[in-house]
Amino acid sequence: RSGAPLSPPAAVSQVTVRDALNQALDEELERDERVFLLGEEVAQYDGAYKISRGLWKKYGDKRVIDTPISEMGFAGIAVGAAMAGLRPVCEFMTFNFSMQAIDQVINSAAKSCYMSAGSISVPIVFRGPNGASAGVAAQHSQCFAAWYGHCPGLKVVSPWSSEDAKGLLKASIRDDNPVVMLESELLYGVPFEMSEQAQSKEFVIPIGKAKIEKPGTHVTLVAHSRPVGHCLEAAAVLSKEGVECEVINLRTIRPMDIETVEASVVKTNHLVTVEGGWPQFGVGAEICARIMEGPAFNYLDAPAVRVTGADVPMPYAKILEDNSIPQVKDIVFAVKKALNI
């Protein structure tokens, strides 16, 4: 039909973040018999968020293990298993509950390789939803990117798209270090385009490499997880006003790819960071400090601006919740402030 939109090539398909994570787990369980999954409701119930759907039926009780509601217990079991040569994937039903197990994550997993002079490696992935969901109040809405990003010995990844989720989870499982993978519950059901390459069994995204989601010339926007989408929406709004934003998807919190951010700031001369976490000692604060200490500082034409969550425990009421999380309008406002327009 004339004028009909061209259908996309068959090589690209729409895949939700949930299915991308499921695909990654399935492929890695199949590829390496040392990999196993444990956590609350991951087996018979198919996972609280259905990330592990079908895996228990396929791989059985030894590879996909339902645990009691005891994060310190099953995180400790997982760390011991990793020290003994297995490659556990430990799911927290939300990262807020990882507080129960933070001694295992930091003292047992993160520090052991250094304290044993390299003789004990802990190849483990701690994964699950992080940051704000919807209507779950303060004890289920915190972002732990800055907490875990603070700790030497850990790698910390924070995916946005389905491609990020699959590639980073596979890289994390194959890594010989403990990796904390901070997912967004609000992205699980969101479909993204995935290329044929991204759907292959050998697709991995290197840990520690950011991605430029949209090139631009006037201002650099840096975000991770769900706010990457908000930045792209803000960039589309600003583009109509003649402002071209460069949007960087960090992908990894630690080690942080500051070189990509620096190169962008040298080009655009302006920086805005966006995150869902609290402002004090946050990921944006770290990026701003690193830019100030490095060569890109001399290229800034205005102070860097941070867009963050509100400095309060997350309220339960929806209108208050919306005002506690960065929205597209907040990013647009920050860009205009940085550009003095």
Backbone phi and psi for residue 257, each to the nearest 5 degrees, phi listed first: -85, 75
Of 164, 64, 172, 69, the closest CA to residue 126 belongs to 172
Residue 140 a catalytic site member: yes
One of 27, 40, 140, 262 is an active-site residue; which one? 140
One of 27, 28, 40, 71 is an active-site residue; which one? 71
Backbone phi and psi for residue 275, each to the nearest 5 degrees, phi listed first: -155, 160
Residue 71 a catalytic site member: yes
Mark 282-309 as b/e (b = at least 16 C-beta within 10 Å): bbbbbbbeebeeeebeeebeeebbbbbb
- Percent helix / strand / coil, the chain, rounded to 5: 40, 15, 45
Tell me the three state secondary structure of residue 296: helix
In which residue are the tokens 């700031």 written?
A: 265
Of 114, 73, 107, the closest CA to residue 90 belongs to 73
Q: Which residues lie across from 69 on neighbouring strands?
A: none
| Residues acting as catalytic residues | 71, 140
